[in-house]
Structure 1
């Protein structure tokens, strides 16, 4: 009963062990914790690095979408098997391992994979409730499209600069 009461607190991660690290916003999916494209940019730039042992940006789009452009450091996990495999890889560090899900608009695929992984994590740890391997997860509000629209100038400049360096 105490575990359930702890989890009802809005600022606690899903296992109730600590507060959320990233500032969140109200999103389209009320059952999921959402972050803005600006917060995602801060994560990618390393602003929160001292708080995480690791962060995994899970891009749930199809491979052809991912190959057409993606957020720096993202991994393309677009099937349930791909996402489920996260539960079987070693988690290192004494700090937090944070997952951030998204798809093109974060309206279907990203949220569904977020929920799927949470469900699998709960099932895997049902004997140690409320323990989870990944208690802190987020959804990128507006998905890749919102992130790209907000930061496309920076993405294009970075791409051009990287391309120029490759030519030297």
Structure 2
């Protein structure tokens, strides 16, 4: 992978989050209406918009560094792989939150962060290469505190955390399961 292209793309996504938060702050959080609202037709747009929306500057700041670091670790497989992983995690995780989430507005990049985190850990299991184990170990040591994100806290979308992590595991399985890779196409 061209590290510069991957990092530029990741930093561009982070910049979009910052710009969206500035606009949201200047408009009295008017953009939050585009968040994910479970089991509503209008809430479906939130599957794609919610990772870029945050409830406050503090919320955004708590998500930026883990988003950039975990994105970069996934992007070590290449920019195209990173884009596929991020899209699958956002769509699968978002759909799961839409189906099982509490009927409130869910916003923030934490579902994507938990998905990237779980993907990196599961990728180590499925790939079973020294590089993927090393990255999984760095991920586990650097972000082991994310496990506390599975503990319910008022005002926090535990559904996004759980569904994002599950989406990350499913994404790793889809992309790296040896059984799938060895079987090849059906004849």
TM-score computed with the length of structure 2 as normaliser: 0.26
User: Per residue, is there more strand in 1 or in 2?
Assistant: 1
User: Per residue, is there more helix in 1 or in 2?
Assistant: 2
TM-score computed with the length of structure 1 as normaliser: 0.28
